[in-house]
Structure 1
Amino acid sequence: MTTAPDILCIGSVLWDIIGRAPSHMREGSDVPGRITRLPGGVAMNIAMTLAKFGLTPALLSAVGRDAEGCELVTEAEHMGLMTEYLYRSADLPTDSYMAIEGANGLIAAIADAHSLEQAGTKILAPMSDGTLGSAEAPWDSLVALDGNLTRDLLYDIANSPLFRAADLRVAPASPGKAERLLALVGHPSATLYVNLEEAGLLCQTSFDTAPDAARGLTKRGVHRVLVTDGGSLAAESHGDTLRTAQPPEVLVTRVTGAGDTFMAAHIASELQGMAPQAALERALNAAATYVSGKTPL
């Protein structure tokens, strides 16, 4: 008997190639460091963290049938992630992400998610064919969406009967893709997880603090939003309620995946029955632990 997933993680599932150097870097820097390859992508990062919290996430994405894709699926299964709902294409290569990080943070990154974009609605087939739901009996639990999906697909999701009963949790893949989430502004169950820069892009302005950004997005029509600002005050806004919390101070050793860890830890905390303020603080602690280079549990 197949175990039912606790949450569907929809979006990028790929290989992260990350170069990290202990020194400050600028354009044109050529310095010694370490290069690693590990499973990544927003949906994958969220799912991996949820699994560490004892949950059973299912991945909905596009992964090639190439050697890279087969290895990636094997890695996911070893971590307890459900991969049977993935769209496996023989024609599309497995996506990848490349980033350079220095002591002064992320220097540059390129996300190659073209296969995910080309697959489009095919990744959602299990939600319509009765496997995980249908238009008549839609999935009625948590869904984590990421901004690597195209603007058109996010718009379709926002208006689809397949998602009318879902609890949507949404994260942009990067500031460069944040405006794609405008399709979900006004959705009655969408919770957005963004940083200060992304919040400004969604509101077509800039904010000085996370509380200001959270209020701004609420006024814009976002059902619920959590805004982080690195080591500065974070905020959550839902209707007339505003919560804030201060992340702990840590030595930053990595940044790629920190926002995904925050989102996953917050979702897990709420599923486990924690009060809203405690869930926000636990998520910030998990993200801080992650950027310090440790396992966020």
Structure 2
Amino acid sequence: MTRKTPPSSSDILCIGSVLWDIIGRSASHMRQGSDVPGRITRLPGGVAMNIAMTLARFGMRPVLLTAIGQDPEGDELIRACAELGMETAHVYRSEDLPTDRYMAVEGANGLIAAIADAHSLEAAGAKILRPLNNGALASAEAPYRGPVALDGNLTLSLLEEIAASPAFAEADLRVAPASPGKAERLRPFLTHGRALLYVNLEEAGLLCQREFSSAEEAAAGLLSRGARRALVTDGGKPACDGTAEGLVSGCPPEVLVTRVTGAGDTFMAAHIVAEAQGASRQEALDRALGAAARYVSGDTGL
């Protein structure tokens, strides 16, 4: 499949999960077995999708590389992506795999439980990367040179392939785990040292196989394990951006938390945009923390 329009400076590849988010939210505190009133919504979601939506609101054009079924839910999701300003020409549409889904329950005390059904994305594997190997977007001889947002819903073998692939050799690669349970899949990027890793404190500890007491300590730990750059968040506590040039820290604004699903994706997208606009490391970190705080407070303005 060929690209409909030529690449532009506002393009960014978003690789990973694009699915339907089914979120139940209640204003009540919840525990195991709670049965409370609330609201249930279904919206386009997935790590790559959440990042892409924020990038699009900031004026960038996300190019999606993912797997979406040819079922009615998939057709509806493709239409929603296009309406939100995303390029879907290179999405892998499977005839036999259903469109993925994510389900979560949130209470006043935060995320209670979640299940990510990204089996179709995992089963599609390297098929979603065909445009980066057949010349539609890039190839081994002509690697992609723009920014790439990559999420950890891909299989470990595919992430290893991406970390070593010539097609990504000149890309500005930004990587985030889909959840703490999938954080260890990002180990190839420690080995190759080619990406900026966006992780929270728990995910950093899983990657380094130790516990950290602060984002600054975790960022330093990731750098010592081979990371080129690491950006570690810790909820309402200070976050840290670590590189070989030093550590930069920032504290998120205090807000009333009304939602949590998608906050990390919003943070990552806002940080990417800030740096694309020429912001310093400190300014980019502060702007990303502010955007994430507004998101969790329920403010839709970014």
SS in 1 for 2:191: coil
What is the TM-score with the length of structure 1 in the denominator?
0.98
Distance apart, 1:24 and its partner CA: 0.9
Among 72, 79, 94, the alignment partner of 1:74 is 79
Matching residue of 1:170: 175
Q: What letter is aligned with 1:2? A: T
Task: Indicate how the Cα distance of structure 1 residues 218 and 296 shifts in structure 2: closer, same or farther if over 3 A, else same.
Answer: farther
1:182 counterpart = 2:193: no
Cα distance in 1 for residues equivalent to 2:191 and 2:172: 14
1:230 counterpart = 2:235: yes
1:60 counterpart = 2:60: no
Q: How does 1:218-297 map to 2 (within 5 A)?
A: 218-297=223-302
Q: State the aligned residue count.
A: 297
SS in 2 for 1:185: helix
Matching residue of 2:198: 193
Matching residue of 1:216: 221
Alignment deviations for residues 268-290 of structure 1 (CA, whole Å, 9 cap, x no partner)? 00001111110100000000000
Cα distance in 2 for residues equivalent to 1:296 and 1:172: 25
Matching residue of 1:4: 7
Name the Cα RMSD after superposition: 0.9
Matching residue of 1:205: 210
Distance apart, 1:296 and its partner CA: 4.3
User: Displaced runs of 4+ in structure 1, greater than 4 A?
Assistant: none
Alignment deviations for residues 173-201 of structure 1 (CA, whole Å, 9 cap, x no partner)? 00000000011113343000000110110
What is the TM-score with the length of structure 2 in the denominator?
0.97
Contact kept, 8 Å, 1:10 with 1:146, in 2: the verdict is yes
Cα distance in 1 for residues equivalent to 2:153 and 2:23: 18
Alignment deviations for residues 221-256 of structure 1 (CA, whole Å, 9 cap, x no partner)? 111010001111000100141000010000000000
Cα distance in 2 for residues equivalent to 1:8 and 1:237: 24
Alignment gaps of 5+ in structure 2: none
Alignment gaps of 5+ in structure 1: none
SS in 2 for 1:173: coil
Q: What letter is aligned with 2:12? A: I
Cα distance in 2 for residues equivalent to 1:149 and 1:163: 16
Matching residue of 2:30: 25
Paired-residue identity, %? 68
Q: What letter is aligned with 1:94? A: T
Q: What letter is aligned with 2:5? A: T
Matching residue of 1:98: 103
Cα distance in 1 for residues equivalent to 2:150 and 2:119: 17
